[in-house]
A and B are shown apart, each in its own frame.
Chain A
Amino acid sequence: MLSGLLDGIFSGISLGSVLLLAALGLAIVFGLMGVINMAHGELMMLGAYTTYMVQNALKGTPLFGIYIFIALIAAFIVTAIFGLVLERGVIRYLYGRPLETLLATWGVSLILQQLVRSVSWQLVTIVALFCLLFFGAMWIVARRTDFERARGWFLAIMIPLSAAAAIATGNVLGTLYKPAFTKLWFDARNVDVTAPKWLRGGFPIAGTQFSYARIFIIVLTIACVVGVYWFLNNTPWGLRIRAVTQNRTMSACLGIPTKKVDALTFALGSGLAGLAGCAVSLLGSVGPNTGQNYIVDTFMVVVVGGVGKLAGSIIAALAIGTANYLIGSNTLVDLTAPIKPLSDTFAFFSTISMAKVLVFALIIAFLQFRPGGLFPQKGRTVDA
Chain B
Amino acid sequence: MSYANATLEPTKPDTDLPMLEVKDLNVYYGESHILRNVNMTVFPGKMVCLIGRNGVGKTTMLKTLMGILKPRSGNLKLDGHSIIARTTDQRARLGIGYVPQGREVIPRLTIKENLILGLEALPERPKKQEIPEEIFELFPVLKTMLSRMGGDLSGGQQQQLAIARALMGRPRLLVLDEPTEGIQPSIVLEIEAAVRRIIETTGISVLLVEQHLHFVRQADWYYAMQKGSMVASGPTSQLSNDVIQQFLAV
Contacts and interface: CB of A to CB of B under 8 A. Distances in A.
A binds B: yes
Interface of A: 236, 239-240, 242-243, 246-247, 249-259, 308, 377-380
The 9 closest A-B pairs by CB, nearest first: A255-B92, A379-B107, A255-B121, A252-B88, A255-B120, A250-B104, A253-B98, A255-B93, A252-B89
Range, interface on chain B:
20 to 34
Nearest to B169: A255
Interface in B24-53: none
Nearest to B166: A254
Contact of B100 (A246, A253, A257, A377): A253
A253 B108 contact: no
B109 interface: yes
Nearest to A244: B106
B100 A251 contact: no
Contact of B117 (A239, A259, A377, A378): A239
B109 A242 contact: yes
B181 interface: no
A254 B151 contact: no
Contacts of A258: 88-89
B128 interface: no
B89 A255 contact: yes
Contact of B169 (A242, A254, A377, A379): A254
Nearest to B129: A236
Which of B68, B100, B106, B129 neighbours the largest number of chain A CB atoms within 10 Å of its CB?
B106
B172 interface: no
B113 interface: yes
Nearest to B118: A254
B54 interface: no
Contact of A256 (B68, B120, B129): B120
Contacts of B117: 239-240, 243, 251, 254, 256
A34 to B, nearest CB: 16
Interface string B81-109: 00000011100110000101000101111
B109 A243 contact: yes
Contacts of B116: 239
Contacts of B107: 246-247, 378-380
A262 B199 CA distance: 36
Contacts of B120: 240, 254-256
A380 B118 CA distance: 20
7 contacts: A239-B109, A247-B106, A249-B88, A254-B121, A255-B93, A257-B89, A377-B108
Contact of A252 (B87, B113, B118): B87
Interface class of chain A by DSSP: helix
B92 A252 contact: yes
B58 interface: no
A239 B88 CA distance: 19
Interface in B116-160: 116-118, 120-122, 125, 129, 151
A256 B68 CA distance: 14
B113 to A, nearest CB: 6
B106 A250 contact: yes
B109 A254 contact: no
Given A242-B108, A254-B118, 16 more contacts: A236-B129, A239-B113, A240-B117, A246-B109, A247-B104, A250-B104, A252-B67, A252-B68, A252-B88, A252-B92, A253-B68, A255-B121, A258-B88, A378-B108, A379-B108, A379-B151
Contacts of A252: 67-68, 87-89, 92
Contacts of B68: 249, 252-253
A240 B117 CA distance: 8
A251 B106 contact: yes
A240 to B, nearest CB: 7
A19 B143 CA distance: 42
A152 B215 CA distance: 53
A306 B13 CA distance: 59
Contacts of A249: 68, 88, 104
B125 A236 contact: yes
Nearest to A258: B89
A252 B96 CA distance: 12
Nearest to A249: B68
A377 B108 CA distance: 9
B228 to A, nearest CB: 22
A325 B90 CA distance: 51
A252 to B, nearest CB: 4
A336 B86 CA distance: 67
Interface in B144-189: 151, 165, 169
A247 B121 CA distance: 16
Contacts of B169: 254-255
B151 A253 contact: no
Nearest to A242: B109
A255 B121 CA distance: 5
A381 B178 CA distance: 24
